[in-house]
Amino acid sequence: MREGDLRFVFSVLQGEKVKNNPLDWYSVLGFLEFHRVAVYFYRKAIEIGLELPERIAKILFELSSEQKLLCQKKNEYLHWISAALERTKINHAFLKGSVLQGAYFRQLTNEYFSCRR
């Protein structure tokens, strides 16, 4: 990814309006997905009124929808697990959702991300 594209990404993530678009949107998209900031970038782009290419906007919208659905499912499972622990009078605390993702949600995660494209 070019330095100018990187500056573009940082500007959008900071909520600054940008004048020039990157030359290679797919490298930008790869960077955003690798660093797990694609959905945040999408929300900031909408907030500042940045026009995205149609295909890039569609991919970012899909990522945003998937993340929202995945978070809802995780929340449901966490409530279910918490209720089961409370019924057995076991004190518990969930430290971070991603800790459970690999153990309890592996199949769910694979289903959502394998059918994405």
Q: What's this model's pTM, rounded to 2 decimal places?
A: 0.68
Tokens representing 55?
């295909």
Give the model confidence (pLDDT) of 4-41 as tens digits: 888 999 999 999 988 888 888 899 999 999 998 999 99
Q: Rounded distance, CA 72 to CA 92, Å?
A: 21
> What is the maximum alpha-carbon separation in the chain?
58
Do 20 and 39 contact (CB within 8 A), yes or no? no
Instruction: Name the residue ranges covered by the structural domains of the chain.
Output: 1-52, 64-117
Are 37 and 63 within 8 A, CB to CB?
A: no
> Which residues of 15-56 form beta strands (DSSP E)?
none
Interval 53-91: pLDDT, tens: 999 999 999 999 988 888 888 888 888 988 999 999 988
